[in-house]
Homo-oligomer: A and B are copies of this chain.
């Protein structure tokens, strides 16, 4: 309490704070979405595909700022559950992922639950904080970019 500044053993880690917050909020959303049978990550994928029509996997990964190979794995359970389909396209080296009727139905079920928890969270954290979250992520992207430059240089 009486340490002036700049000293202090390192304890607070921005990354771990972020991860902690991520874990916590994920648990909240997953809990809220439970009646729909899908998790928030899956809900997000379905919404993205619904919005951006049939897309190939790489594009979808970029949309979600997600590693492509991660997305490939994440699609698996959704395909098995018949919530979406991935079919070969004209270009034989790419596959088009599109949502099924079952997927649309599931979204319709999940949406009210999502809205409710989204509202609850938005009340708890004010809007500035939420917007800040986006700018936060964007700022971080910048850091990544500059790191990449440093490497390729």
A binding-site residues for B, Cβ under 8 Å: 9-29, 31, 40-41, 44, 47, 51, 64-66, 111, 114-115, 118, 120-122, 124-125, 129-130, 132-134, 136-137, 139-144, 147
Decide: A133 and B17 in contact? CB cutoff 8 A.
Answer: yes
Q: Kindly state the separation between the CA atoms of A38 and B16 in the bound complex, as whole angstroms.
A: 14
Main SS class of interface, A: helix
Q: Kindly state the separation between the CA atoms of A26 and B58 in the bound complex, as whole angstroms.
A: 21
User: Which of B19, B25, B64, B132 contacts A15, CB < 8 Å?
Assistant: B25
User: Which of B10, B133, B142 contacts A124, CB < 8 Å?
Assistant: B142
List the B side residues contacting A25 at CB < 8 Å.
14-15, 18, 140
| Smallest CB separation, A124 vs chain B (Å) | 5
Q: Kindly state the separation between the CA atoms of A66 and B138 in the bound complex, as whole angstroms.
A: 27
| Smallest CB separation, A127 vs chain B (Å) | 10
